[in-house]
Amino acid sequence: MGLTCQQLLQKHPQAWQEATIHPFLQECQQGTIQPQQFNTWLVQDYLFVIDFTRFLARILAIAPPHNFDILLAGLSALKDELNWFQTKAAERQLQLNTDKQPTCIEYCDYMQSLSATPYAAQATALWAIELAYNQGWQLPGAMPPPYTEFADRWGNPDFTTYVDFLEQQADAALSNASEEVQQQATAAFLNVARLEKDFWQMAYTVTSDQ
């Protein structure tokens, strides 16, 4: 019996809800988020995406060649995303050359540690990381400016299609996975869910230079 991404979502609804529904996103949708909190998230997410890019590059290095199309498109989109983060930070006069907060460090360290796990577990983590933002930014409904473009970046239909492809790739890798590998993939899913929840909460821990 294989494991699928949909089964992970069905078996762990609470963990996934906490990853994708948070006051931070609701306050963006209501336009009531404090700029300091939004800016804290923005800077920390830029630092996260740098390490996430490295994570995706390591996945590419062990992926079957028929997965290259999707993964290379993902890497290319991340190149644009990093440049976009720099533009957004400059607009808000934010210093990107800053320390990671403990939660951001933990998440980045966790992505690093996944390189010791089989491809199926890494592909599952990649799917979960992207789905968390795809659903998280979509669920509250349309967001007012200046948050519209943030919600669109991860909530747009092309990004949803990309996440669907990541799901297919993870499912294919999981389809012939041993019990042990399935457990590693489940652990990856649950760790991503927990770290996503913590990452939203981190926005409320404002550091002095933001």
Tokens of 134: 């795809």
- Is 167 a binding residue for ligand HMH by CB under 6 A? The answer is no
**Smallest distance, ligand HMH to C-beta of residue 175, A:** 25
Residue 44 to residues 55, 100, 104, 157: CA-CA distances in angstroms? 16, 6, 7, 25
Residue 146 to residues 35, 73, 129: CA-CA distances in angstroms? 11, 27, 24
Does 18 carry a binding-site annotation? no
Three-class SS of 98-151: CCCCHHHHHHHHHHHHHHHCCHHHHHHHHHHHHHHHHHHHHCCCCCCCCCHHHH
Residues in 115-134 at the binding interface with ligand HMH, rule: CB under 6 A: 129-130, 132-133
Does 171 carry a binding-site annotation? no
Residue 104 contacts residue 49 (beta carbons within 8 Å):
no
**Smallest distance, ligand HMH to C-beta of residue 178, A:** 28
**Smallest distance, ligand HMH to C-beta of residue 185, A:** 18
Interface mask toward ligand HMH for 97-116; x: CB under 6 A: --------------------
Residue 41 contacts residue 206 (beta carbons within 8 Å):
no
Does 130 carry a binding-site annotation? yes
Interface mask toward ligand HMH for 176-205; x: CB under 6 A: --------------------x--x------
Residues of this chain that bind ligand HMH (CB under 6 A):
45, 48-49, 52, 129-130, 132-133, 196, 199
> Per the annotation, where are the binding residues for substrate?
45, 81, 130
